[in-house]
């Protein structure tokens, strides 16, 4: 049985939960991180020395790093669904995973924390404004990429959609000013029709 450690309100954990749900892989979720703690226990640190979530155990395989876990689960359980054997097609989709993590996550954090996790008095307005401006530019890049295909991964949902799809929920649901993003909005509407996305990603923002 696949075990997933991580609190469900973490974007990185959502990626893994959503992936497992899409694949229909049975799993046990153990809440960890944030108020749930556990991540500093020696047994957890032995699995993930970073003390971060998510972390998984699948048989003898222990893995951390959310994007790596998504790639692993898709390759192992998603041959007919999230995974593609075509190397070029796969790399083309996977670049969106790495882009979401390396380029979007940091400015996005400034928006998310200031809007969702801080009270109005505690907000760092300069960081919020800068984060919003940067994220708006980045979302326009994703919007343009979605102009001629339904998913970032191509004709069907794939691993390339998962990280940005997790950010998209917060992006579209936070009370912020967004630029016009017609293609990304249509993509988000497509994601919202998926039971796996609704279950793992569309939970109250905290």
Under DSSP, the state recorded for 7 is -
Nearest to 5 by CA among 68, 48, 49: 48
Min CB(161)–ligand GSH separation in Å: 16
Min CB(80)–ligand GSH separation in Å: 26
DSSP-based three-state secondary structure for 140: helix
Considering the complex, state which of residue 56 and residue 152 has its C-beta at the smaller distance from ligand GSH: 56
Q: Which residues bind ligand GSH (CB under 6 A)?
A: 10-12, 33-34, 39, 52-54, 65-66
* CA dist., res. 1 & res. 109, Å (int): 33
Q: Which helix (H) or strand (E) holds 185?
A: helix 182-192
Q: Judging by DSSP bridges, how do beta strands 61-64 and 55-58 pair with one another?
A: antiparallel
Min CB(148)–ligand GSH separation in Å: 29
Considering the complex, state which of residue 10 and residue 29 has its C-beta at the smaller distance from ligand GSH: 10
Min CB(4)–ligand GSH separation in Å: 12
Q: What tokens were used for 75? A: 């390759």
Considering the complex, state which of residue 102 and residue 149 has its C-beta at the smaller distance from ligand GSH: 102
Min CB(118)–ligand GSH separation in Å: 16
Rg from Cα positions in the chain: 17
Under DSSP, the state recorded for 151 is B
Considering the complex, state which of residue 33 and residue 131 has its C-beta at the smaller distance from ligand GSH: 33
Under DSSP, the state recorded for 54 is -
Considering the complex, state which of residue 70 and residue 142 has its C-beta at the smaller distance from ligand GSH: 70
Number of residue whose CB is nearest ligand GSH = 33
């Amino acid at each position: 049985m696949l075990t997933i450690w991580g609190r469900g309100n973490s974007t990185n954990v959502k990626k893994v939960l959503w992936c497992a749900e899409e694949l229909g892989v049975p799993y046990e979720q153990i809440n960890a991180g944030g108020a749930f703690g556990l991540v500093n226990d020696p047994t957890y640190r032995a699995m993930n020395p970073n003390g971060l979530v998510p972390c998984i155990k699948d048989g003898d395989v222990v893995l951390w790093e959310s994007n790596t876990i998504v790639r692993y689960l898709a390759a192992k359980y998603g041959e007919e669904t999230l995974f593609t054997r075509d190397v070029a097609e796969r790399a083309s989709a996977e670049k969106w995973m790495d882009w979401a993590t390396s380029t979007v996550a940091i400015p996005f954090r400034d928006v998310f924390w200031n809007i969702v996790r801080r009270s109005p008095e505690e907000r760092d307005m300069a960081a919020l404004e800068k984060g919003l401006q940067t994220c708006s530019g980045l979302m326009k890049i994703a919007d343009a990429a979605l102009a001629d295909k339904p998913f970032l991964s191509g004709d069907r949902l794939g691993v390339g959609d998962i990280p940005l799809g997790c950010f998209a929920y917060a992006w579209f649901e936070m009370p912020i000013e967004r630029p016009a993003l017609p293609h990304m909005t249509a993509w988000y509407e497509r994601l919202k029709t998926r039971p796996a996305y609704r279950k793992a990603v569309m939970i109250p923002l905290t």
